[in-house]
Chain A
Amino acid sequence: MYLNTMLLLAAVLFCIGVYGVLARRNGVLVLMSIELILNAVNINLVAFGAFHATVVGQIFALFVITVAAAEVGIGLAIVLLLYRNRRSINLDQVDLMRG
């Protein structure tokens, strides 16, 4: 198992996540894509941690997971409220802040 294999996996995961965030219209899917990005980072952290033979990377990954859980909780709550108010979670229709 090489480090660059892991990094490649992470890069692929990250790109899929970015694509999802930018291209999907569904709010829930955007949130899931953000999770993919975060998990790509987690893979990087763990991989580098293993590479350097320390547990610091895993600890950071645990923190990221915790934050991600909180973030997705808030995100889903927003999506839920959005749905209740507009009967839609299409992000293109949410542009109240347009200048």
Chain B
Amino acid sequence: MGALSAVFGAEAVGEATAASGWFLENAWLIWLFPAVSFLLILLFGKRFPKGGSEIGIFAVGASFVFGVATAIQWISEVEGGGSKGAEGEYALGAGALSLAAEGESSGGVSAVSRSITWLTNGAESIGAGILIDGLAVMMIFVVTLVSLLVHVYSTDYVAGDRRYTHFFAFLSLFTASMLFFVTASTTLQMLVGWELVGVCSFALIGHWWEEKPNSNAALKAFFTNRVGDMGLIIGVSILFFAAGTFDVIGVNEAALNGTMTHTVTLAAALCLTAAVMSKSGQFFLHTWLPDAMAGPTPVSALIHAATMVVAGIFMIARLYGVFFEGYSIGGSSLNLLALIGGVTTLVGASLAFVQNDIKKVLAYSTISQLGYMVLALGVGAWTAALFHLFTHAFFKACLFLGSGSVSHAVHSFDMKKDMGGLRAHMPHTYRTFMLGTLALAGLPIFSGFWSKDEILVGTGGWGFFGGTDANGSYTIMLVMGLVTAALTGAYMTRVVYLTFFGEYRGHGTPHESGPRITAPLWILGSLAVVAGFINFPPGFQLVPESWREKFFQWVEPVGVSYFPSIKHATPSWSLAIVSVIVALAGIAAAAYYYFVRVRAVSPMATELPNGPTRRWVLARAGHSVLVNKYYLDWLYTRVIVGFVKGPLAKGTNWVNQHVIDRVVNEVGTRSVQAGNVVYHKVDQLVVDGVVNATGKISDASGEELRRMQTGKVQQYAAIMFIAATILAGIFIIVI
């Protein structure tokens, strides 16, 4: 893949530079296609022979083609060494739109930024536009590719659904919103895109809303996200008032050049972190994500694994100046962002162990991997985080679509009851699922290995690994990352055994899914293998130097005013070997338990009859903590809501009855007495008297005046003339 793209890049450089940049400057078309498709499907979808799905596939396909073209142009620009004088190149006046074109050119990488004036409020004019750089191009590629594959997959998976057309309409809207979000040039646009993807997520989780749990899950997702969205709104407002602009580049520059004080930047970063915690499922606002699996599986793959949940990661990466300064990432050894990421990655990985629903395992795994990304951003390993986002999108989408394929065959998501032994029945699903699993576990060659290893290196923990020149020494984060690596290997081994090995425990005979399901699986499975080759580490001697660090060169903005100058850790063989050993240890432990011990009991068995949770109190206690998801849902619904309803209510009731009530009663009694006095003396006599008098006077005068209203025009005229004469008389006498 890396080699292929390099060839593409080289070819593009050879072409005439005049045409270069058209796709970059018109990247707004990429989100326009699916946006138009949404309207078309909604209005006319049912009249089309395939229920509108063909419109969606065509639109997203067009977006994908444009996205690839944009990527090629961007790469050629980067590889070309930024020799372009940006101003003349981009200043294309077009129609009535006033185009502000600027090329932030320095150090060879220029972000293409175009905007129109969206609205003017007094002296403040708010722009809207596109900001295309390596980050946006990478996100466009991921979103359009996964979305396209999910569209194709869905035509089989949700075939015959009663809201088939509706489903594709929302897929289109989601794709448009996400693309709008990643190409946004202002924080205000990002806010709009952020909310739009949230709405689409809500609608698609609740796709089968007739069943109460599904609509509950949709509501839970929506409300949990609202908590974070408030953070985003406040954060964007703080940034606007502190930096004086909504412009992403302007905000980053203001944070980096000291226009904003450190305190303000920290406050903004904290608010934005709340938004990341809800949208990207970080501990302790992650609880909506597993429940979101109530939605159709393609939705889980697209929205809740590959794209929407990484919106938070993207937002941190986009506004990295704010986060970098706010949390003082360079040169510290602990900060909130890294800590949230670290805790999340551990929490997610440990919870993935005890789920019996295959999609929920994957959901917790997603939370864990998102934690990795936040951790990486927290320790300053910007490229590593986005590289992991890139590889994770492919292998996790592959795993989700694989689980969908399995459930398509066995009509269930319960691994213990209805799966097992599917390896023989579903060879394609099994093989692609294995590719995704190996990538997720981070074994060498597979894509997850390269990206995860880069994150671990980026923590800069423990100098003796040789991972030097990192932004700080985050030893705790390194330990958390390594423990998670072991846990990841173990829980994926469990999933693979319960799903594909042993003997089939469900009903009927499962069959392999059709080509529209297996083709996307194979594409994603292949990407899960090769996507990592796009970013070989700098010291990797096995490939030519021109193949190394491509992703870093293409995506990370270097030497520009809106991006902090972060350091890049030198990778080390020793850390890579340790992380692989750790992952293998996790896999081996789980493999011993399932493939040896459990299988020895019976091919149908899913656990040992006298396993550790049966024998040891401590293990049982730990297990029940995990089964109850660290009691977080319990905490939210029982403790926080229940505390208000239960003990707190009782306690306050007593205080209420005995203390407050006495006071209240006393006050009440006195009030009543005072009220009686006031009532009889003031109200009845004075106030009512006035009111009644007013009424009576009005009534009486009305009765009198009524007679003047004869309806005869000439009498009115006479009165008018008489009055005018009198007034004129007064006028003459007075003057």
Chain B interface residues (CB < 8 Å from chain A): 705-714, 717-718, 721
- Given contacts A30-B714, A91-B714, are A22 and B721 in contact (CB under 8 A)? yes
**B710 and A95 form a contact (CB under 8 A):** yes
**How far apart sit A96 and B707, CA to CA, in the bound complex (Å)?**
14
The distance in angstroms between the C-alpha atoms of A92 and B708, with both chains bound, is 15
A98 and B709 contacting across the interface, CB-CB below 8 Å: yes
Cβ-neighbour of A91 out of B706, B708, B713 (below 8 A): B713
* Residue A21 CB within 8 A of the other chain: yes
- Bound Cα distance A99, B713 (Å): 13
A97 within 8 A of B: yes
Nearest to B714 among chain A residues (CB) is A22
Cross-interface CB contact of B707 among A23, A30, A94, A99, cutoff 8 Å: A99
Question: What would 13 A/B residue contacts be, using CB atoms closer than 8 Å?
Answer: A21-B714, A22-B714, A22-B721, A92-B714, A94-B711, A94-B712, A95-B711, A95-B712, A97-B711, A98-B709, A99-B708, A99-B710, A99-B711
Would you call A65 an interface residue if the criterion is a C-beta within 8 Å of the partner chain's C-beta atoms?
Answer: no
> Interface on A for B, CB 8 Å cutoff?
18, 21-23, 30, 91-92, 94-99
Q: How far is the CA of A94 from the CA of B707 in the complex (A)?
A: 16
Residues of A within 8 A of B705 (CB): 99
Q: In the complex the two chains form, is B711's CB within 8 Å of A22's CB?
A: no
Beyond A21-B717, A22-B718, A99-B706, whether A91 also contacts B711 by CB under 8 A is no
CB distance from B724 to the nearest CB of A (A): 10
- Asked if B721 and A91 make an inter-chain contact with CB atoms under 8 angstroms apart, the answer reads no
Inter-chain CA distance A95–B707, complex, in Å, is: 13
CB distance from A13 to the nearest CB of B (A): 15
Central interface residue in A22, A23, A30, by most chain B CB within 10 Å: A22
| Min CB–CB distance A55 → chain B (angstroms) | 27
Complex Cα distance, B713 from A94, in Å, reads 8
Give, as a whole number of angstroms, the nearest-CB distance from A37 to chain B: 10
CB distance from B468 to the nearest CB of A (A): 92
Q: Other CB < 8 Å A-B pairs besides A91-B713, A94-B711, A97-B709, 10 of them?
A: A22-B721, A30-B713, A30-B714, A91-B712, A92-B712, A92-B714, A99-B705, A99-B706, A99-B707, A99-B710
Which residue on chain A has the smallest CB distance to residue B717?
Answer: A21
CB distance from B698 to the nearest CB of A (A): 14
Residues on A with beta carbons closer than 8 Å to the beta carbon of B712: 91-92, 94-95, 98
Output the least CB separation between B198 and chain A (Å): 59
Chain A residues near B718: list those with CB within 8 A: 22
A18 to B724, CA, bound (A): 12
Contacts of B711 in A (CB 8 A): 94-99
Report the minimal beta-carbon distance from B168 to chain A, rounded to whole angstroms. 60
Q: Min CB distance, B710 to chain A, in Å?
A: 6
Closest Cβ neighbor of A98 among chain B residues: B711
Residue contact B721 to A18, C-beta cutoff 8 Å: yes
Which residues of B have CB within 8 Å of A98?
709-712
